[in-house]
Amino acid sequence: MTRVLVVEDSSTQAARLCLILESEGFTVEAVTDGEEGLERSLASG
What is the pTM assigned to this prediction? Answer: 0.84
Tens digit of pLDDT at every position of the chain (45 positions): 799 999 999 999 999 999 999 999 999 999 999 999 999 999 987
Strand extents, DSSP E, 1-45: 3-7, 27-31
Q: Which residues have C-beta within 8 Å of that of residue 4, sequence separation ≥ 6?
A: 21, 26, 27, 28, 29
H or E segment to which residue 21 belongs: helix 11-23
d(CA 43, CA 4): 14
Hey, where are the domains in the chain? Answer: 3-44
Q: Phi and psi at residue 4, in whole multiples of 5°? A: -125, 135
